[in-house]
Amino acid sequence: MSYKNIRSIREDHDVTQKEVAELLNVSQNTYSQYETGKIEWTASTLIKLADYFGVSIDYLLDRTKNKNWNK
pLDDT tens column, 12-37:
999 999 999 999 999 999 999 999 99
pLDDT digits (tens, 9 = 90+) for 30-68: 999 999 999 999 999 999 999 999 999 999 999 988 877
CB 69 within 8 A of CB 56: yes
| Residues counted in the chain | 71
Q: Does residue 14 come out as left (phi exceeding 0), alpha (psi in the -120 to 50 range) or beta?
A: left
pTM to 2 decimal places: 0.85
DSSP per-residue letters across 7-67: HHHHHHTT--HHHHHHHHTS-HHHHHHHHHTSSPPPHHHHHHHHHHHT--HHHHTTS-S--
Q: What are phi and psi of 16, to 5 degrees?
A: -80, 165
What CATH number does the domain located at 4-60 have?
A: 1.10.260.40
State yes or no: pLDDT of 70 exceeds 80: no
